[in-house]
Structure 1
Amino acid sequence: MSLWNRIKDSTQNMQSQLIAKKNDLKSGAFRDASMAMCALVSAADGSVDPAERQRVAALISTNEVLGNFPADDLRQRFEGYLDKLAADFDFGKVSLMQEIAKVKKKPAEARAVVQIGIIIGGADGDFDDDEKQVVREVCYALDLPPAEFDL
């Protein structure tokens, strides 16, 4: 099986798992952590080009699991997090990791945030090393073993 097919199958499987837990994923902390994760994955290489920003924003607004929240609110939070990263990447990253850490005590939400990061990273068919590294760092921040997510 080609790498692209494995990534596609993996992200579809994770999306199915998230949909099954959708009713448990309604907290503000989950919403904020998810948007922070999306911003970190989008900027994993140190920058975000406008096309990538648009692509991820579109994925956020159409993701069924994130449908628990108003799309405009999600987009505004995502854009705000990207602005923090653009202003000062290192400081912004610390701030976003703190936002993500707020779901640490809720294992279902923590796993869902990691899965959303993988889905966003693999959406273009290339879950690259920078994106994987960011998701690994989030796993460590949430006390989740990266191996659980094949990272």
Structure 2
Amino acid sequence: MALWDRVKESASTMQTQLNAKKNDLKSGAFRDASMAMCALVAAADGTIDPSERRKVAQLIATNDVLANFPADDLRRRFEANCDKLAADFDFGKVSVLQEVAKAKKKPAEARAVVQIGIVIGGADGDFDKDERQVVRDACYALDLPPHEFDL
């Protein structure tokens, strides 16, 4: 199987698993951590170009699991995290990873946050090394072993 197909299959599998848990993923901690994760993936290479920001915002707006929350609230939180990362990537990353860590008290939510990162990162069929690294960093912030997610 080609790498492209494996990436798309993995993202699809993660989305299916997320959909199965949708009713359990309604906490503010999950919401905040998910938007932080989306911003990390959008800025994975250290910059956020406007088209990448729009693309991720669109994926957030159309994700079934995230439909548990008002779209304008999600967008505001995503944009605030992106702004932190754009202002100073290294310092912003520390702050955004602290947002991600809010979900670590509930293992199901923590895993779902990582899965959202994989879904967002793999949506274009190319879950690149920078995206994999920020999702791996999020695993550490959530006290989850990256190998559980093939990272």
SS of residue paired to 1:104: helix
TM-score normalised by the chain length of structure 1:
0.98
- Structure 1 residues 20-73: Cα deviation after superposition (integer angstroms, max 9, x where no partner): 000110001100000000000110100011111110000000000000001111
Taking every aligned residue pair, what percent have the same amino acid on both sides? 78
2:79 is matched with 79
1:96 is matched with 96
Q: Does 1:62 align with 2:57?
A: no
- Aligned-residue offset at 1:87: 1.1
1:136 is matched with 136
Quote the Cα distance in structure 1 between the aligned partners of 2:42 and 2:29.
20
Matched pairs, number:
151
Quote the Cα distance in structure 2 between the aligned partners of 1:87 and 1:143.
27
Q: Structure 1, unaligned stretches of length 5 or more?
A: none
Quote the Cα distance in structure 2 between the aligned partners of 1:33 and 1:141.
11
- Aligned-residue offset at 1:18: 0.4
Poorly superposed stretches of 4+, deviation over 6 Å: none
SS of residue paired to 1:103: helix
Q: Does 1:115 align with 2:115?
A: yes
Quote the Cα distance in structure 2 between the aligned partners of 1:129 and 1:43.
12
Q: Does 1:26 align with 2:22?
A: no
Q: Does 1:9 align with 2:23?
A: no
- Structure 1 residues 79-110: Cα deviation after superposition (integer angstroms, max 9, x where no partner): 11100111111111111111111111100000
2:39 is matched with 39
- Aligned-residue offset at 1:140: 1.1
Aligned-residue CA RMSD in angstroms? 0.7
Amino acid at match of 1:146: P
